[in-house]
Structure 1
């Protein structure tokens, strides 16, 4: 048999809250009921997510999760990010809800992935269906440690431990890592600080990253990382 379809059914505190959030990301509501039980279906092209409401549900305690395999994580991330910026004026990078950036996952064959943590505390793990072929490049010690930190911070949600791993590596390799390697590590360090509600550490990592000397070619290659710094800067601005 072929063409089977699996639909995740995930818990939430309020189905209306889920509708608002996922509509921002480009989903449409395809089914909605409040009785006998709150239930909503949301769809964006071939991606469908269903949610059921639970009175007294605490998103911080949620174990809800699912994996979504897509051809291009970068394209979907940018679409979601555009929706967040349109509604909130910035990328949501801290608290619940939030979204991580696409990064290679050492614990998933180095395929690119990012995660949407929705208002129900559900982790929607967006992963590339296949690795993207890349040119062979030498990987420095700092980059190797960054990959470990990404597993800790993005896959396991242990922001503080990931930051500790990265801080030790940034100190160890400050005189040997390339500017490009340091930029990638500092951008992620700033994001981790935001998730840990440590704006001082986020600002420090941001300033160090901005001060790195980069060539024009490096800036072009690292455009996504530089955009991540812009998102950190936006998150640090006081609310109007």
Structure 2
């Protein structure tokens, strides 16, 4: 085959609701029909998403996923986040619809639309091995837990599982580099904020403040330290 093109067709409950949502994100509607079957197409910078109305669809039980390869993701995520915040009053990181969180240097993020479809936007030069932000890689228990939590949080969108992985690793209190424990606590605090657990977020921050770190070490993961506070601000 020459110049083959693959176009996903995603299910939806309501074309109106779906088109309004993607319109909010800056997608343009390029086609719509109501009969014989509900069908519509939206486009954003050359990426097309097709939707078909499906009777009886349960958005909370949807597992439909689509990958969109894009030149960059950070500004795109910021644009989507600002649009969603303007309507919802805060960044919707749970429920339907929602958008996953984004950290500097991250190569992908996920938008889950009102029908439960997960559209994953991936930077075209994204690494195959999803261990972003954990270089150099550590083989310590905490280092492994940090990478596992990152995959669960950012790739699978499972904050609860990510929090559990870190909680187990932190509870073992095994010897390791102070900065690794600090990173794990910072990640745990951010997950606690995302899950609405203010008590755990506060206790993680308090322990983090007691860890002796040099100025150089603090600078190495300043963005991780600020992630929980940044997320808390978007939820107000």
TM-score higher than 0.5: yes
Alignment of 1:62-141 (within 5 A): 62-102=62-102, 112-131=107-126, 137-140=135-138, 141=140
**Aligned-partner Cα distance in 2 for 1:67–1:189:** 25
Shift of residue 43, structure 1, vs aligned partner: 1.1
The residue number in structure 2 matching 1:185 is: 187
**Aligned-partner Cα distance in 1 for 2:8–2:51:** 8
Unaligned residue ranges in structure 1 (runs of 5+): 105-109
The residue number in structure 1 matching 2:40 is: 40
Q: Deviations over 1:134-160 (max 9, x none)?
A: 999544443431221232344445443
Alignment of 1:212-231 (within 5 A): 212-213=208-209, 218=218, 222-223=222-223, 226=226, 229-231=229-231
After superposition, the CA RMSD in angstroms is 3.5
Q: 1:73 to 1:210 in 2, by over 3 A?
A: farther
TM-score, scaled to structure 1: 0.75
Shift of residue 204, structure 1, vs aligned partner: 2.4
Contact 1:90–1:231 (CA under 8 A) maintained in structure 2: no
Contact 1:9–1:50 (CA under 8 A) maintained in structure 2: yes
Shift of residue 58, structure 1, vs aligned partner: 0.3
Q: Deviations over 1:82-136 (max 9, x none)?
A: 11122222211011111112469xxxxx97221111111111122222147x999
Q: Larger Cα Rg: Structure 1 or Structure 2? A: 2
Shift of residue 60, structure 1, vs aligned partner: 1.2
Shift of residue 25, structure 1, vs aligned partner: 1.2
Q: SS of the counterpart of 1:49?
A: strand
Q: SS of the counterpart of 1:81?
A: helix
TM-score, scaled to structure 2: 0.76
**Aligned-partner Cα distance in 1 for 2:230–2:113:** 22
Q: SS of the counterpart of 2:40?
A: strand
